């Protein structure tokens, strides 16, 4: 975290380009693909079920009611002839109606000389539609579906030589059956919708599974695990996706490996001449008191720059080869003693607080992480104020606090990138260092399964935190 400027963050108040949304910003809550596919299958199944059930229901209802009405008309005409014949033979109207055979719960009425006669009729003649009687008198016969006393009926009226004959056929049984059938079809449609949704969800899960594997693999590579590869699924349509991802992962691994080797080789090749230059500069610096003032100043500057370049080369060697090539050795590590040693080396005794646990981790890498954090606090944070070790249930936290002005949240992740140095307000600019210390600390921490973070310290300044998720010995 030195003084190399980084590109400024985009203005949050600046308008977005037309047709584009800011990264990470969504216009509103949306359903996931799995739910959208399940919903589409469910709606489609419901539409098909409603269409099929509705068509079948309408056809069956129309057909059965038509058959019932046709049968009723035929029966009423036959009964009307029989009643008319009995009346012509001198039979009393009531007796003539009593001879009419009952079909189900059909009801017969007859009007003779203006008087109504009935047989087991629950409806009075006053409840009969006037249009039905008028049409029968005009054309000789009429039929009509009607609703009387809350029940459906089919009425047939026939004009005879003796008067008017009318027969009512109840449709309650047919109407009840179709009502039950209608509700059954509604339930069946809902079941079809649920079944379609489940099928859609299963199909979406089958389609999304390779995408989820791809996402998990990409996340693993982003976190630093370059060995991740996707297995072949055996599906000719999906295997090209796995092959493309694996080819990309191979290319990324090879590229990073080449870059590491290049950095390590260049650093190694430069180390010998830089060591020679540094030795010469320090030799001259020791005899600078015998030189003119201007020459002594130049020699001192050369020695400072040579030492800075030497430290940068060491950091590059570690960054290029340490994490990928050196094995991780887990052993009992006394964090208290380790931090005490680091502080003693820098004449910073008395700044360790908190617990002193013994953990199972790679002590060499833990020492490198905390050493870089302490050096960063001393060099760029106006001095180290304290180191606190906190023993939690499933992890150990080591806080390194400095006396600086804190850090902006937008730079909290950026400081761990190689060669990035962030100038903090209130801290004098420094040119020593290449911005590799925290990058090395992060790689070393990740190699042992730990994590690092930077935030504002509770008492002011900046806090560097190392989290070690290891079993306490």
Sign of CA dihedral 211, 213, 216, 222: negative
| pLDDT per residue as tens, the chain (473 positions) | 333 333 334 444 444 444 444 444 455 557 777 788 888 888 998 899 899 988 988 998 888 888 888 988 988 888 888 888 888 888 888 888 888 877 667 888 888 888 888 876 667 777 788 888 888 888 888 998 888 777 888 889 999 888 888 888 888 888 888 889 889 989 998 998 899 888 888 888 877 777 788 888 888 877 667 788 888 877 787 778 888 888 888 888 888 778 777 766 776 677 778 788 878 888 888 888 888 888 888 888 888 788 777 767 666 666 555 444 567 788 888 999 999 999 998 889 889 999 999 988 888 889 889 988 898 888 777 789 999 999 888 899 999 999 888 787 777 777 777 666 665 555 555 555 556 778 788 888 888 889 999 888 888 888 999 999 876 44
Whether 311 contacts 433, CB under 8 Å: yes
User: How far is Cα 377 from Cα 405, in angstroms, rounded to an integer?
Assistant: 11
Query: For the whole model, what pTM was predicted?
Result: 0.47
DSSP state of 472: B
Nearest Cα to 444, choosing from 358, 287, 322, 301? 322
- d(Cα 384, Cα 175) in Å, to the nearest integer? 90
Structure tokens, 136 = 């029968």
Q: Which residues pair with 154 in a beta bridge?
A: 145, 169
Question: Is the separation of the CB atoms in 186 and 50 below 8 Å?
Answer: no
- Taking the C-alpha atoms of residue 73 and residue 69, their distance in angstroms, rounded to an integer, is 6
Do 296 and 288 contact (CB within 8 A), yes or no?
A: yes
**Distance separating alpha carbons of residues 363 and 470, to the nearest angstrom:** 12
Q: What is the pLDDT of residue 148?
A: 79
**Which of 324, 359, 338 shows the shortest CA–CA distance to 444?**
324
Please return the burial class of 140, using the count of CB atoms within 10 Å of its CB with bins 0-12, 13-18 and 19+: exposed
The per-residue DSSP string of 168-208 comes to EEE-HHHHHHHHHHHHHHHHHHHHHHHHHHHHHHHHHHHHH
pLDDT of residue 338: 92
400 has which bridge partners? 387, 464
The CATH number of the domain covering residues in 327-468: 3.30.565.10
DSSP 122: S
Q: Quick one: pLDDT at residue 388?
A: 94
Task: For 137, list phi and psi in degrees, rounded to 5.
Answer: -70, -30
DSSP string, 341-369: HHHHHTT-TT-EEE---EEEE-HHHHHHH
Q: Which residue intervals of the chain bear CATH 3.30.565.10? A: 327-468
The ranges of the chain annotated as CATH 1.10.287.130 are 239-321
The region, left, alpha or beta by phi > 0 then psi within -120 to 50, assigned to residue 262 is alpha
Element (H, E) at 160: strand 151-160
User: Residue 48 has which token pair?
Assistant: 């098909």
Nearest in space to 373 (alpha carbons), one of 473, 470, 461: 461
On whether the 239-321 domain is CATH 1.10.287.130, my answer is yes
Give residues with Cβ within 8 angstroms of 468, minimum separation 6: 359, 361, 366, 395, 396, 397, 398, 448, 450
pLDDT at 434: 55
């Amino acid at each position: 975290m030195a003084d190399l400027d980084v590109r400024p963050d985009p203005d949050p108040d600046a308008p977005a380009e037309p047709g584009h949304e800011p990264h990470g910003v969504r216009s509103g809550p949306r359903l996931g693909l799995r739910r959208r596919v399940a919903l589409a299958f469910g709606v489609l199944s419901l539409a098909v079920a409603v269409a099929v059930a509705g068509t079948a229901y309408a056809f069956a209802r129309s057909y059965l009611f038509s058959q019932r009405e046709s049968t009723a008309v035929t029966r009423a005409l036959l009964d009307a002839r029989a009643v008319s014949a009995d009346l012509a033979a001198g039979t009393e109207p009531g007796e003539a109606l009593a001879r009419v055979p009952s079909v189900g719960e059909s009801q017969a009425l007859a009007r003779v000389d203006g008087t109504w006669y009935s047989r087991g009729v629950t409806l009075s003649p006053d409840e009969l539609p006037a249009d039905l009687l008028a049409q029968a008198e005009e054309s000789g016969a009429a039929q009509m579906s009607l609703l009387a006393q809350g029940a459906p009926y089919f009425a047939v009226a026939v004009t005879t030589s003796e008067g008017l004959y009318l027969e009512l056929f109840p449709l309650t049984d047919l109407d009840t059956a179709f009502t039950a059938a209608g509700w059954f079809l509604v339930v069946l449609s809902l079941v079809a919708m649920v079944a379609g949704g489940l099928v859609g969800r299963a199909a979406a899960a089958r389609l999304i599974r390779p995408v989820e594997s791809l996402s998990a693999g990409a996340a693993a590579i982003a976190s630093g695990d370059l060995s991740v590869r996707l297995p072949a699924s055996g599906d000719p349509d999906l295997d090209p996706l796995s092959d493309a991802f694996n080819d990309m992962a191979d290319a990324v691994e090879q590229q990073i490996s080449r870059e590491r080797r290049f950095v390590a080789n260049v650093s190694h090749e430069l180390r010998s001449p830089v060591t020679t230059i540094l030795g010469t500069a320090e030799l001259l610096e020791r005899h600078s008191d015998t030189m003119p003032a201007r020459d002594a100043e130049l020699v001192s500057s050369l020695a400072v720059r040579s030492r800075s370049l030497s430290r940068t080369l060491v950091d590059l060697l570690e960054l290029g080869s340490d994490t990928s090539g050196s094995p991780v050795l887990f052993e009992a590590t006394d964090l208290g003693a380790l931090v005490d040693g680091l502080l003693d080396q820098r004449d910073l005794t008395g700044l360790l607080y908190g617990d002193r646990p013994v953990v199972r981790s790679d002590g060499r890498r833990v020492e490198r992480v905390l050493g870089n954090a302490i050096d960063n606090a001393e060099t760029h944070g106006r001095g180290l104020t304290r180191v606190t070790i906190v023993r939690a249930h499933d992890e150990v936290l080591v806080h390194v606090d400095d006396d600086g002005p804190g850090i902006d949240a937008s730079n909290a992740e950026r400081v761990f990138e190689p060669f990035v140095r962030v100038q903090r307000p209130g801290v004098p600019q420094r040119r020593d260092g290449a911005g590799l210390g925290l990058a090395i600390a992060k790689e070393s921490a990740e190699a042992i399964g730990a994590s690092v973070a930077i935030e504002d310290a509770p008492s002011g300044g900046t806090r560097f935190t190392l989290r070690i998720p290891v079993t306490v010995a």
